[in-house]
Amino acid sequence: MGLEPFLFRRSGCLVGARSGELSSEVEGEVGRFSLRDLGRDEYAVFTLDLCHNGVDRHFSRFPDEELETINGMVPGRPLMERHDLKGSLPRGTFFRSCLHREGDRVSVRPDVYVMRTGENADFILNIEGGVYRETSIGFAFETPECSICHKDLRTCDHVPGRSYGDESCHYVMRNVLDVIEGSVVPSGSQGTRFVSEARALPLSEALVAGREAFHRPIGLASQGGSRVWARE
């Protein structure tokens, strides 16, 4: 049987707010998602660095081609607070995105609009005031590829963060399946963890759990009543 995809979070940061009059181009992009034409004073627009191609402190990395996939999936996705998909509604909507290149660093840099409602007033003020600065992306991907042996990390013996010869192990996130949301969070590092079966485990324990699940046998009954064993 195939392995289940990971649901994952990865940190980024807010990089700017659009001040002054918004261009007609922005109005047109926002209008793709609103049910009526919105006045320029009805919403605020912010720009986020949502994810990038560098190895982070959790020893994970997006290859450039996956960033291109994410970039195409972001528009239309919601901006949330603290990845709270059950207890609150979205604060904003991502309406366009681009790939930002600076040297070897490539990042997904979307724009989001937030309605200037009474409920959102403090939220917008805290972003504009620099109190809410960090962001995190929630997404699903299929394979954590080991940077040492290039196998699925759940099936090899390498541990992210450890050195093997001259190389430090990390995992490459392959085959992004979906972008679920982007969030404003108190600290991006708190959101970077698995949230499926091992949602409460640190990376090292989640990796052990994933490997145990992969190697755990399952029972299959034959027509003759004898039992054979197969790996999941």
Domain positions in the chain are 6-198
Q: What H or E segment, with its residue span, contains residue 49?
A: strand 43-49
The CA distances from residue 58 to 49, 74, 226, in Å, are: 18, 23, 46
Please indicate, yes or no, whether the overall pTM of this predicted structure exceeds 0.85.
Answer: no
Phi, psi (degrees; rounded to nearest 5) at 25: -65, -45
pLDDT at 192: 26
The Cα 90–Cα 123 span in angstroms is 12
Reading the chain (232 residues) residue by residue, the pLDDT tens digits are: 455 555 555 555 555 555 444 678 888 999 999 999 999 999 999 998 888 898 887 899 999 999 999 999 999 999 998 888 888 899 999 999 999 998 999 989 999 999 999 999 999 999 888 888 888 888 999 999 999 999 999 999 999 999 999 999 999 999 999 999 999 887 653 232 222 233 344 555 666 666 666 555 543 433 444 333 333 3
Closest-CA residue to 204 (of 165, 166, 176, 162): 162
**DSSP secondary structure letter of residue 199:** T
Exposure on the CB side of residue 5, measured as CA atoms within 13 A? 14
pLDDT at 25: 86
Q: What H or E segment, with its residue span, contains residue 67?
A: helix 64-73
10 Å CB burial of residue 112 (0-12, 13-18, 19+) is: buried
Q: How many other CB atoms sit within 10 Å of the CB of residue 167?
A: 11
pLDDT at 24: 80
Quick one: tokens of 56?
A: 């982070």
Closest-CA residue to 53 (of 96, 94, 14, 102): 102
pLDDT digits 0-9 by tens, 152-169: 999 999 999 999 999 999
Counting every residue written for the chain, the total comes to 232
The CA distances from residue 205 to 70, 133, 151, 152, in Å, are: 27, 29, 19, 16
- Classified as helix, coil or strand, 46 is strand
**What is the sign of the dihedral through the CA atoms of 74, 131, 85 and 40?**
negative
The Cα 133–Cα 183 span in angstroms is 11
| 111 contacts 97 by C-beta, under 8 angstroms | yes
| 170 contacts 203 by C-beta, under 8 angstroms | no
